[in-house]
Amino acid sequence: MSKLKINQKISKHILPEWLDKLIINTLDQHFKISINETKVISESIVKLSRYYLENPLGKTPWEEPWCQLAHLCYFLPLNYLRNDSVFKKCQEVNPSFKSFRRLIDFGSGLSPTAWAFKELKELGEISNPNNNLNDNLNGNPHTCEILLMDHSKAPFALLNKMGLKYNQSALSHFNDSDFFKESLVTFSYSLTEFNENHFPPWIDRAENLLFIEPGTQDDGRRLLQLRKTLLAKGYSSLAPCTGDNECPLLLHSNSDWCHDRINIEMPEWYYEIEKFLPMKNSSLTFTYLYLSKTVTRFKNQNQEARIIGDPLYENGKIRQACCRNSDREFLSWLERDLAKKNNTDFFELPERGSLYSLSAVDNFELKGKQSQRELRIKN
């Protein structure tokens, strides 16, 4: 038998054709710009990126046409792919996730959240965006009321032209706890604009919360601290966490943070724009947190581990960080064991961000201390 080949499973996340077409049509009809005017588009993206770097606590300047252009052609498609990936992971741990009857998107902008939720609802190709989630709530499992919140009205005007049907949220409803039943409240890329002491006063009434933030160290550790606060208020952590234990990355490290990564495949026009950009994206990182007061899972959480790291190759051994309790743990395999037990010349390591079932493993042993423990897979 030839030498064993070891690779990590890596999925490609592809921008759907309907969103590709929607971006091109909106660019042409609203901005009177062709998708081929890559220099003009890239200048807007660089300008907005520089604004975010220089004003980390500033509000997005939605009234500026260059800001809208940058979001439409760059931030919307990239954030759509991030959110789509997160929604699928949430659906995996809660099969009723896509059945929420109301989506409340805080700091929505062009709401990649709403567009990704449309896709999760299995509406098929959205060639006509007016065939939308936000029609009558008449018992159809694909219907969902979309409520958007943003400090500016400018993105709503653009969303109208793009055909997304939604309501701007009425704050008067937020005093009614029943308003949040069967609802999902999302915060996407908005934690930088406030801290936990400045959250909306109604947030504790929400039954289901989802945060999606950039995959930076600061944002990741801020979200881990927020998790502690919300667990103390009666929420359960559903994803990426497999339980409500104290986070091992906070407990055993002063610098580590939880973040995911996905590989992406974009339309050709995106790569033409990217040629003029200082940043290139073959993959996307992000951090997220899904919590609920009404949904629980994992009767035996120690049988499920979330893969939170890339493979580490060390002198005949492979380690991969995982999370299932408050211990800092790594799945590990000895290459000699893999060579013995595999009847093929290929072994695939689990994908980053995926759930790994230890119940399917017949033989493993724990090695090391809580701050650096290995789950040595034997079979």
The pLDDT, as a whole number, for residue 78 is 97
- Please give the residue range of the domain that contains residue 349: 301-377
Please give the Cα distance from 150 to 133 (Å, whole number): 20
Do 187 and 331 fall within a single domain?
no
The mean of the pLDDT values for the chain is 85
- pLDDT-based confidence at 50, cuts 50/70/90? very high
**What is the token pair recorded at 351?**
């994908």
Instruction: Using the 3D structure, point to which of 271, 292, 313 is the last residue of a domain.
Output: 292
> Does residue 4 form part of some domain?
no
- Greater confidence, 234 or 136? 234
Alpha-carbon distance of 3 to 345, in angstroms, equals 6
* H or E, element range at 348: strand 346-349
Residues 146 and 157: their CA atoms lie apart, in Å, by 15
Note whether 315 and 259 are same-domain residues: no
Distance of alpha carbon 281 from alpha carbon 286, whole angstroms? 13
- Residue 152 pLDDT > 80, yes or no? yes
CA atoms of 111 and 106, how far apart (whole Å) = 9
Q: Looking at residue 73, what DSSP letter applies?
A: I
Domain boundary among 267, 292, 317: 292
Task: Give the pLDDT band (50/70/90) at residue 142.
Answer: low
pLDDT band at 128 (very low <50, low <70, confident <90, very high): very low
Residues 39, 187, single domain; the answer is yes
Total structural domains within the chain: 2
| Predicted local distance difference test score (pLDDT) of residue 127 | 39
Q: Are residues 244 and 324 in the same domain?
A: no
pLDDT in tens, 185-207: 999 887 766 655 667 778 888 99
Start-to-end CA span in the chain (Å): 19
Is residue 8 domain-resident?
no
pLDDT at 362: 54
**Closest listed residue to residue 279, CA positions, set 24, 42, 37:** 42
pLDDT reading at 13 higher than 80: yes
Does residue 329 sit in the same domain as residue 263?
A: no
**Which comes out higher in pLDDT, residue 112 or 344?**
112
**274 and 315 belong to one structural domain:** no
Reported as a single tens digit per residue, the pLDDT across 360-372 is 665 667 777 766 8
Identify the domain boundary among 249, 274, 292.
Answer: 292
| pLDDT greater at residue 297 or residue 331 | 331
